[in-house]
Each structure stands twice: as C-alpha cells, then as structure tokens.
C-alpha cells in the first residue's frame, strides 16, 4: 500500500523533475560487427526456382479465373497464394541466396555552430539596410489576415445556415402513415406492439418525421399531468431519432412477464440509451441527456391515428442553444 502511494505521489509530482539524469554512457566493447558471407547453398537456389515457378503459375491461374469471372474465394486464393509464394521467394533470396552482410554506417553528428550561424546571417540578410521593419511586418500581417479571411469565406457557401435544424413537419391533425403511406389505424396495434410512422405527405428522411408508435395498457401509464390526453387507449408516439447521437431508436422491450421485470422501454442500438415509454420516454439508462420528444396522439372518426399537436421538443441530437422541451 505504501509503495502504491509512493508511486502515485511520484506520478502526481512528476518527481523525475527532481532526479535529473545524465545521458547513458557509451558501451565499452570493442566488437567489430561487420561481416560478409557470399555463396548460396544448392538447396536454396533450387527452392528459389521452384517458388518463382509456382508463383507464376498462381498468378496465371488468377488471370484465367478473372477472365472467366470465377468466384471470389478462388480469385483470393490464387492471387494471395501467388503473393505468398513471391514473399517466400524474396525472403529466401534475401536471407540465403544473395550475400549476407552486416555493415556499419556513420551517422552525421551535431551541426557545426558556424554553419548554423552562417544560415541565420543569410536568412537575416533580407532586412539588411531596411529601417521600417516593424511597419512592413505589420502591413504584411494585415495582408496575411485578409488573405486568410478571403480564403475562408467561400466555406460558408458549402451548406445552409443552422436555422433549418429546428423544423419538424408534425402539426395538429396530421395523419400518421406507415412506410407505404397507408394510415395507421388504432385497432391495428395490440398491447406491446411497435411500429414506425411518418407524417402524411412529408419527407420521410427528414429527422423530424419518423416516430415510433407503441401500445401499452392504459393503467401502466405514468405521464405528467399535462400529457394525460396524449396517449388515447394506451397508444404512445415518440420521435424515433435518439436524442443522444441520432440513430433510430429501433428496439422495443415490452416485458411479457409480470412484476419486478424492467419497464416497457425503447432502446437505441448504437449506445443503448433506454427510454421508459410509460413515463414520457424518461432516460432509464445510457448516455442520452433528455427524453425523446413526444407526439400527442388522437384517434379520429375513422379510427386513424392523428397528431394532437407538434412534437414536445426539438428532435434528435442537440447543439448549442437547442430548446430542451
């Protein structure tokens, strides 16, 4: 334990600072590492020939198979096999056939101080005999800033302004339709059911469009007082786009067994943010920072599901200044 503490304090205090070290001494051996062995054993030369011939055969087979539109496995096996044989041939040539040599090469050492000084004098020569150096430098700075601004300005042409982010097509009275544009009927959904719905006539790919509709038993609901009327007959709708990172909340856990089991919840498969559908999609577990926006539902005369109003908050991943509800 005391060792642990000592190491922690070492780390915290960066104690190495206090124990300055010196560069390690040069090793003091007098070994001469150079060597040169030439001459290849007969087996190595023969093996090299065999490997190269097999390699050529493999590549030829690949070419024929490709021309015949052969299947991927055969193509991979022939091309990969050819490359593997080539690798073996090259390594064999390098290790056993060509001369083996260990050489010593000197390393260029520290720069000569005079040379560095000469470089600095030459670079400084640009200002020889110039008296208004600061003024010129300042003017150059202004020119540079202008050039950077001019270069950066076209970036704003890339996309529209961020104001478009808060829009959603849901309004009071908009009919919920499925992927094939057929209206969603209240009686099509049993308790525990889970479907995806869209606002009729809107662009389905817009993040504000897709909602999940689930049905739970009305007596399970624990919605806040202001939302009591939003879930007729236990039918609930929430935005399908996760408020954490924008994936589709495409898992619905509806317990089929009774007390003690987890609450009915929607979950996102990307980072497993889990939302309790009975309690206005409150976050049960996971990284999401706010509930899924809820869509108030109503049932019209033809038993079709319609929106009772807009979504309760902004859809999907947030950004600086997004309204939370």
Q: Toward other proteins, which CB reaches closer, 87 or 136? A: 87
* Least separation in angstroms between CB 152 and other proteins: 11
* Least separation in angstroms between CB 73 and other proteins: 6
Q: Toward other proteins, which CB reaches closer, 6 or 121? A: 6
Among 243, 241, 263, 244, which residue's Cα sits nearest to residue 252? 263
Q: Is 285 helix (H, G, I), strand (E, B) or coil?
A: strand
Distance of alpha carbon 307 from its chain centroid, rounded?
A: 35
User: What are the b/e assignments for 209-233, b being 16+ CB within 10 Å?
Assistant: bbbbbbbbeeeebebeeeeeebbee
Among 228, 201, 196, which residue's Cα sits nearest to residue 213? 196
> How many residues make up the chain in this entry?
325
Give the angle 238-304-311 at the CA atoms, nearest 5°: 25
* Least separation in angstroms between CB 134 and other proteins: 31
Q: Toward other proteins, which CB reaches closer, 41 or 94? A: 94
* Least separation in angstroms between CB 104 and other proteins: 5
* Least separation in angstroms between CB 131 and other proteins: 36
* Least separation in angstroms between CB 322 and other proteins: 5
**Could you please report the per-residue DSSP string of 208-272?**
TS-EEEEE--GGG----GGGGGGSGGGEEEEESB-TTT--B--EEE--SS-TTSPPPEEE-TTT-
Q: Toward other proteins, which CB reaches closer, 186 or 212? A: 212
Q: Toward other proteins, which CB reaches closer, 124 or 321? A: 321
Q: Toward other proteins, which CB reaches closer, 149 or 155? A: 155
């Amino acid at each position: 334990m005391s060792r642990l503490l000592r190491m922690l304090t070492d780390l915290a205090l960066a104690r190495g600072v206090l124990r300055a070290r010196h560069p390690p001494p040069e090793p003091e051996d007098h070994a001469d590492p150079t060597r040169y062995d030439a001459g290849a054993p007969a087996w190595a030369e023969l093996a090299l020939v065999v490997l190269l011939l097999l390699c050529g055969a493999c590549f030829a087979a690949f070419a024929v198979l490709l021309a015949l539109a052969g299947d991927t496995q055969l193509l991979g096996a022939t091309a990969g096999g050819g490359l593997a044989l080539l690798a073996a041939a090259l390594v064999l040539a390098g290790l056993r056939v060509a001369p083996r040599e260990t050489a010593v090469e000197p390393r260029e050492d520290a720069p000569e101080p005079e040379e560095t000084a000469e470089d600095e004098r030459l670079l400084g020569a640009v200002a020889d005999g110039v008296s208004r150096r600061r003024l010129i430098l300042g003017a150059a700075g202004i020119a540079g800033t202008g050039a950077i601004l001019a270069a950066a300005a076209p970036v704003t042409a890339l996309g529209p302004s961020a104001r478009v982010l808060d829009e959603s097509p849901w309004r009071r009275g908009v009919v919920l339709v499925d992927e094939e544009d057929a209206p969603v009927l209240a009686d099509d959904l049993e308790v525990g059911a889970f479907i995806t719905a869209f606002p009729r006539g809107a662009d389905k790919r817009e993040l504000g469009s897709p909602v999940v509709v689930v049905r739970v038993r009305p007596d399970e609901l624990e919605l806040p007082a202001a939302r009591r009327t939003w879930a007729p007959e236990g039918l609930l709708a929430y935005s399908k786009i996760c408020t954490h990172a924008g994936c589709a909340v495409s898992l619905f856990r509806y317990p089929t067994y009774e007390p003690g089991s987890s609450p009915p919840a929607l979950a996102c498969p990307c980072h497993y943010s889990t939302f309790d559908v009975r309690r206005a999609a409150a976050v049960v577990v996971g990284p999401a920072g706010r509930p899924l926006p809820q869509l108030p539902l109503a049932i019209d005369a033809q038993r079709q599901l319609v929106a009772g109003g807009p979504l309760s908050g902004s859809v999907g991943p947030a950004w600086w200044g997004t309204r939370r509800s």
